[in-house]
Amino acid sequence: MSENEKQDRALLLQADFDQELDAAGAMKAERLLAGDAFARGDRERLDALRRTLRRHAAREAAPETLRTRLLAQMESSNGRGRIAADFRRPAPPSWRIYAGSIAATIVVTLGLQHLVEDLAAPDRFMSYVVAGHMRSQISGQPVDVASSDQHTVKPWLASKLPLAVTVVDLAAEGFPLVGARIDIVGATPVPTLVYKHREHLVSVAELQLRSVNYPEVPALRMIEGYPVVVWKEKHRTYAAISDLPPAELEAFVVAFRRAASKIESAPARN
């Protein structure tokens, strides 16, 4: 028997011992064992070794301390990244750690404050929108250009602001156009359309300000007792405010959006 054949035979018998063979292979191994006393001796030794290993090198349960340590680690790494990677050898906390954590806290707090301000931008700007609407009611002069004709209002706005404002006529829906004015939101002039419903006015400010926090779908909230609906279109953000009941303001927003989307998607006309 060549050296190679011997090897293959040994591996076949080992695979049989490890129960890795299919039926055909197992039968072959069985035949080898039946006809070869050396092979049977090898098998006996393998069995003996396995019994010895079972006795002295069995699979062990992980210690309870390790288990609890891992659980604690996983919990903390869920919440805070992998900060806990090093508590296998806890060092006594020194003043450096405290100083470092205080500094980190300051940095994080300042950063957060900045972030929160940005995120809260809609709320910050909403007060300007509300103020603009209130002032327009008190002054008795809600519009700078008074016209129910969108083809008058739109050019007027275009002459004041470098913007293509979408002006829609909602007379058929019960919200005739009154005109437009320019409000100052933050430090930015924004076009505000004014519509009328019964004796109530609706102001719609088109905001150019960017913030991640504007809702994609119209969201109603009450500010200073006024219902305000804020929503985002593809290129613009709107805030509508009125002293109408909230449900009627929402109906207005639905009508406004429907008409505006018709204009935005219509083929070029004016």
Partner 1 sequence: MPHLDDAYSLARWLTGNATDAEDVVQDACLRALASLESAEVAHPRAWLMAITRNAAFTWLAKNRPRDLVLAGGAEDAEIYDGASPHCDEPSPESALIEAADRSSVEAAIAALPLPFREALVMREVNGLSYREIADATGAPIGTVMSRLARARALLIDRLGRGSL
68 binds partner 1 (CB under 8 A): no
Q: Which is nearer to partner 1, 53 or 247 (CB)?
A: 53
Binding segment for partner 1 among 54-62, 116-124, 178-186, 200-208 (CB under 8 A)?
Answer: 54-62
The Cα–Cα gap between 4 and 11 comes to 11
- Tokens 């301000």 — which residue? 117
Number of residues located near partner 1, criterion CB under 8 A: 42
Binding segment for partner 1 among 61-69, 110-118, 132-140, 253-261 (CB under 8 A)?
Answer: 61-69
Among 146, 133, 76, CA closest to 249: 133
Q: How far is the CB of 57 from partner 1 (least distance, A)?
A: 6
CA dihedral 159, 163, 164, 165 (to 10 degrees): -90
Among 27, 30, 31, 41, binds partner 1 (CB under 8 A): 41
Among 26, 33, 46, 263, binds partner 1 (CB under 8 A): 46
* Whole-Å CA distances, 115 to 108, 112, 211, 213: 10, 5, 11, 11
56 binds partner 1 (CB under 8 A): yes
Residue 108, CA atoms < 13 Å, CB-side half-sphere: 6
Q: Which is nearer to partner 1, 7 or 137 (CB)?
A: 7
- Tokens 């009941």 — which residue? 245
Among 31, 45, 114, 135, binds partner 1 (CB under 8 A): 45
Among 173, 183, 77, CA closest to 127: 183
Q: How far is the CB of 33 from partner 1 (least distance, A)?
A: 15
Binding segment for partner 1 among 41-49, 131-139, 190-198, 261-269 (CB under 8 A)?
Answer: 41-49
80 binds partner 1 (CB under 8 A): no
The secondary structure element, H or E, covering residue 223 is strand 219-223
